[in-house]
Structure 1
């Protein structure tokens, strides 16, 4: 018996020792081939042993057997099974394990709604690039929101004047008025002109789960204004993982930002909530561009226990004000206020001082909150209804200067200090009657009108004036700060029914309805020492006019429901747009083939109301709706050749309604007689390659844009006119390459190259009209402009980038990126091409920029599930001086005088900068900037 016990004890001890020695550790890192996947589940098959990946996508498991399989799962990706073998007490590193997307590349969300048209990897046949939240959060820093996209193919981004949120983006040579911007399936391009003002959306970088750029006609089922591409911004859902963050950052220009967020996660009762608040402020990089902005984001959700219904309420807004650089100086002006002939790239011709403090008469202030309700209803296993109702009430304006003094505007030479800053004290002194030295070197005193110093929109200049007979000036006018209010009320709904007809066919059908009212008028902000403002623009009050003393501060209006009663000047009109559309899509998906065909049709109605220009009895004071039909049809197919290779093609045709100012040109209520839809025809083909460590895509495209509407400048002989171009056509063709590679577990590379041929096709004609009533100018109808083969300007036609990130120590990473831009042409006006032997488009110097960063992530908490993150960004590391855009098209061999050729050319007068005539009006890009962020994630 005793012997039996000894054998049992010995056997049991042997089993325990054997088991202990068979235990070991399994490690590895989970990625999608582009970036790490934090929070992925890793479990040993057939056991309860499991863990999840950390912030870097890494995991460690204690194995209880010497061999077996681990199963990795992550929302939105195919499960993957990997075999392992581990010796007793040792550690086996499985290396980098790549998961394959089964829906889309957005790792932080699951897009429940079929309203949100997200392109799916190796399935949706469009050219697409996706920027995830981690990269946005890490690298954006103090850059503008669109700048995070600059290293994607065929994208060109500039800061324009350099004010907070004043950046602009081009895709495939098309400006952002012709790029559809969507937030959670909601279109946000202005319904009157297609504009997107990024200052109104400055907070999106903080609440976005991802940004997806679909180049070309895109995957959206809606009849969007997409010509160059679509930017899909998907925000964080209320039911995202429980936790939050707190961050603080600062940078040059006294930039400071603080942010906090928290999400409850999905509670047992189906409720969820997420909130984010932030505040930012600074002096700006450009002189006199101080700014302050806030951001709020609130998301509330509810899902039923059976998951048949899911509701999401989202409200977000970014109230802000920022001073601007609206005047585009010449290169010579930058050099004048620089040192030793080098340009002062920060110079701002709008900034100066008033009463001892910095002051800028040009200011933007706006608050544009957006609220949406998303309802996703799973009717049955094959039918799903997705609905989004949204509303936006924008309130705000852009402040500028009204009037002038003796013909000089606020930043005319007579008001500039020696350093080029505006002497606003001198303007205020003149306005209040203090004598000033002006044009003839003598002290001049302002003349009162009706016993007061009266400001108005008059610049104080009369007569046309020539060298022999100079302009006649008066001494009664003054300068005021005025604001052009551009507020709106916007309501819309998108409803989509998704029906799975069979295992291979899925049908979508939906409705897109929108209504928009835009309020446009001008108010007085500051008389700057004057006694009153005289306005004589209301037809029913002429000729007596009005004497106005009411002024309105340039403050952000937080309460957007308050429709303030302003005393308006200069103009007052209301634009109304109605949009009704239907759309459908049929998708076929079986094995390796996915194909779709989709179509949309919409009717837009445009109505204009104006009680300033027109008498109340005039029918034009309130027009009928001008209804215009438009739509699109698109088709495409993707075929996965094998696990690594796929190819796709797509084609589409748009008949796009013109914008509001094309229907009613020149702020008048007569319908444009040359009204026609713009026609866009696009073709695209692509190839994708994906392995465990390398991904690449190649795209070829051709887009034809016909009957483009463009309003031009006044005729040189008469400032009371404007011009309009008819039959203006463009062709944009190109090649795109995008690639990324995890060379090792620590080293990642990314690269991009794009080359475009963007040209005008054929010649166009120009008509001239009188501004007062839109009637034709005799003799100026059908005048040819010679545009054929002229390069499209305002965006680099060749771009490339190369970036690398290296983890030098655990969670200590350095990264750098080089971005190169070439074939960049000046912004063009067709009036430059009135002669068949014109010189074409002015090419600007190419340039390359290096950005660099340093990151350190310190894991904290009992389970190491929290982190403290340090991030340093340095943009334009080598302080490269470069021209980002030009508003003019002046060549080095052009004469410096249009009336006296004997004065020679810009080249012969040594008036060149990097080969460019110094009379060109340009914006230089920013020099070296930096920012540092400390963030705690919990």
Structure 2
């Protein structure tokens, strides 16, 4: 009896750890022709990727017995999803139906990594952003991703915020909007404060850690943040979103879209306002933004014109809080006062403010700035293997910051 039990255990273990194969062919549903270059992703105990060859064939080896999710995608065709149980049928014939509309994803396809690419990356979809978009800036919506560390001047995640990825500062993080570089042309920094509530107009984000597939600038040596804004919405929609939080933080968003007009045209629009008093003394942020996108699409062509703008008025809080003040270390604060030559008024501010200390006390020590973006995107499918993507863009900014300096003349 003992020997029979041992034999049964060995047979069960062998079946459990047996390796299986899965192969298949991807074709055009209408013509039956094979589709070369289709992306096939198999997700389960681990995630595997493959690209079909010239005959539309793909294969996966060394698969364990489990339930797997299959996803097949190809530009110009509808996405194919399936749930597979392995062991089971080991050869598939997948016929993709042509999509009557060229999707906006072709705009960012050339600079995004795919499942089989040798890069470390994370994908964030629109519904995931909606779950956390309560008014904070984009770095705080991405802070749960691997290797991302965020910071905020005002301490509330609204206003001047930023992030480091794998230790790289913002000048080494290449940020693109629809494939168009967003980094400041002079400093190479990224000022998210100039894009208030951009998350409400983003379709998807890919964050690549380290050297990736971006074609824009040396900033990509640290990381890449690739954002795609609102894409094709076939149905009309409209919504009003309000959120409230600590430090008198509030967010109001009004958005609407026409859906498809005459089976070819779409218009989407958004209006947002975000305000916060901030955690740090006087560090308020008053942010306003709007976004308008008009598009034309058919089976082979996509054209989209985006206009969006952000206006910010923020009280300056970028001087920082001394560690001695955070720890309530009086001796350390006195040493800090002597070391930095603080005036009696500045010293009193430091000693009496608590953890919310802000070096600046002038009533109108504000940064006042507006940034406008214009983007014209065009994509054309050239047969089954090639896509032409081109873009024109213009960015305009204007503003000022006001600063008080004691005993100095204009």
Asked if 1:228 is matched to 2:222, the reply is: yes
CA contact (8 A) 1:368 1:395 kept: yes
Q: Could you say which residue in structure 2 is the equivalent of 1:188?
A: 182
Tell me: CA distance 1:360–1:342, structure 2 relative to 1, closer, same or farther (3 Å): closer
Q: Could you say which residue in structure 2 is the equivalent of 1:134?
A: 127
Q: How far 1:124 sits from its partner (Å)?
A: 2.0
CA contact (8 A) 2:135 2:197 kept: no
Q: Could you say which residue in structure 1 is the equivalent of 2:289?
A: 295
State which of 291, 314, 317 in structure 1 corresponds to 2:306: 314
State which of 148, 163, 170 in structure 2 corresponds to 1:169: 163
CA contact (8 A) 1:162 1:285 kept: yes
Q: Could you say which residue in structure 2 is the equivalent of 1:912?
A: none
Tell me: CA distance 1:156–1:73, structure 2 relative to 1, closer, same or farther (3 Å): closer
Unpaired segments ≥5 residues, structure 1: 1-31, 35-70, 84-101, 103-108, 353-358, 406-454, 457-532, 534-938
| In structure 2, distance between residues paired with 1:145 and 1:233 | 11
What is the correspondence of 1:296-695 to structure 2 with a 5 Å cutoff? Answer: 296-304=290-298, 307-334=299-326, 335=328, 344-351=354-361, 359-361=363-365, 363-402=366-405, 404-405=406-407, 456=409, 533=410
Q: How far 1:243 sits from its partner (Å)?
A: 1.6
Tell me: CA distance 1:33–1:322, structure 2 relative to 1, closer, same or farther (3 Å): farther
Q: Per the alignment, in what secondary structure is the counterpart of residue 356 of structure 2?
A: coil
| In structure 2, distance between residues paired with 1:81 and 1:283 | 49
Q: How far 1:72 sits from its partner (Å)?
A: 10
Tell me: CA distance 1:255–1:160, structure 2 relative to 1, closer, same or farther (3 Å): closer
CA contact (8 A) 1:194 1:225 kept: yes
Q: Could you say which residue in structure 2 is the equivalent of 1:113?
A: 107
| In structure 1, distance between residues paired with 2:378 and 2:403 | 43
Q: How far 1:240 sits from its partner (Å)?
A: 4.9
What is the correspondence of 1:142-181 to structure 2 with a 5 Å cutoff? Answer: 142-162=135-155, 164-181=158-175
Q: Could you say which residue in structure 2 is the equivalent of 1:460?
A: none
Tell me: CA distance 1:287–1:138, structure 2 relative to 1, closer, same or farther (3 Å): same
Q: Per the alignment, in what secondary structure is the counterpart of residue 225 of structure 1?
A: helix
| In structure 1, distance between residues paired with 2:256 and 2:135 | 23
Q: How far 1:327 sits from its partner (Å)?
A: 2.4
| In structure 2, distance between residues paired with 1:192 and 1:76 | 42
Tell me: CA distance 1:311–1:73, structure 2 relative to 1, closer, same or farther (3 Å): same
Q: Could you say which residue in structure 2 is the equivalent of 1:217?
A: 211
CA contact (8 A) 2:295 2:302 kept: yes
TM-score for both structures, normalised by structure 1: 0.30
| In structure 2, distance between residues paired with 1:343 and 1:239 | 50
Q: Per the alignment, in what secondary structure is the counterpart of residue 189 of structure 1?
A: coil
CA contact (8 A) 1:144 1:159 kept: no
Unpaired segments ≥5 residues, structure 2: 1-42, 46-69, 86-95, 97-102, 334-347
Tell me: CA distance 1:199–1:285, structure 2 relative to 1, closer, same or farther (3 Å): same
| In structure 1, distance between residues paired with 2:220 and 2:109 | 17
CA contact (8 A) 1:178 1:225 kept: yes
Tell me: CA distance 1:343–1:240, structure 2 relative to 1, closer, same or farther (3 Å): farther
| In structure 2, distance between residues paired with 1:381 and 1:73 | 16
CA contact (8 A) 1:162 1:325 kept: no
CA contact (8 A) 1:238 1:300 kept: no
Q: Per the alignment, in what secondary structure is the counterpart of residue 202 of structure 1?
A: coil
Q: Could you say which residue in structure 2 is the equivalent of 1:78?
A: 80
Q: How far 1:332 sits from its partner (Å)?
A: 3.1
Q: What are the superposed Cα offsets for residues 179-227 of structure 1, whole Å, 9 maximum, x if unpaired?
A: 1011110001111120111101222111111221101111123444212
Q: What are the superposed Cα offsets for residues 108-136 of structure 1, whole Å, 9 maximum, x if unpaired?
A: x7502256522222x22210011222222
| In structure 2, distance between residues paired with 1:285 and 1:76 | 47
Q: Number of paired residues?
A: 305
| In structure 2, distance between residues paired with 1:178 and 1:73 | 34
Q: Could you say which residue in structure 2 is the equivalent of 1:20?
A: none
Q: How far 1:381 sits from its partner (Å)?
A: 3.2
Q: Per the alignment, in what secondary structure is the counterpart of residue 237 of structure 1?
A: coil
| In structure 1, distance between residues paired with 2:231 and 2:216 | 22
Q: Could you say which residue in structure 1 is the equivalent of 2:254?
A: 260
Q: What are the superposed Cα offsets for residues 291-332 of structure 1, whole Å, 9 maximum, x if unpaired?
A: 21111111101124xx23211011111111111213234233
| In structure 1, distance between residues paired with 2:120 and 2:78 | 20
Q: Per the alignment, in what secondary structure is the counterpart of residue 162 of structure 1?
A: coil
CA contact (8 A) 1:116 1:184 kept: no
Tell me: CA distance 1:72–1:124, structure 2 relative to 1, closer, same or farther (3 Å): closer
Tell me: CA distance 1:369–1:237, structure 2 relative to 1, closer, same or farther (3 Å): same
Q: How far 1:269 sits from its partner (Å)?
A: 4.1
Q: Could you say which residue in structure 2 is the equivalent of 1:833?
A: none
| In structure 2, distance between residues paired with 1:240 and 1:344 | 53
Q: What are the superposed Cα offsets for residues 417-463 of structure 1, whole Å, 9 maximum, x if unpaired?
A: xxxxxxxxxxxxxxxxxxxxxxxxxxxxxxxxxxxxxx52xxxxxxx
Structure possessing the higher relative contact order (Cα contacts under 8 Å, 6 or more residues apart)? 2
Tell me: CA distance 1:324–1:33, structure 2 relative to 1, closer, same or farther (3 Å): farther
Tell me: CA distance 1:230–1:199, structure 2 relative to 1, closer, same or farther (3 Å): same
Tell me: CA distance 1:345–1:142, structure 2 relative to 1, closer, same or farther (3 Å): farther
| In structure 1, distance between residues paired with 2:225 and 2:44 | 23
| In structure 2, distance between residues paired with 1:140 and 1:218 | 27
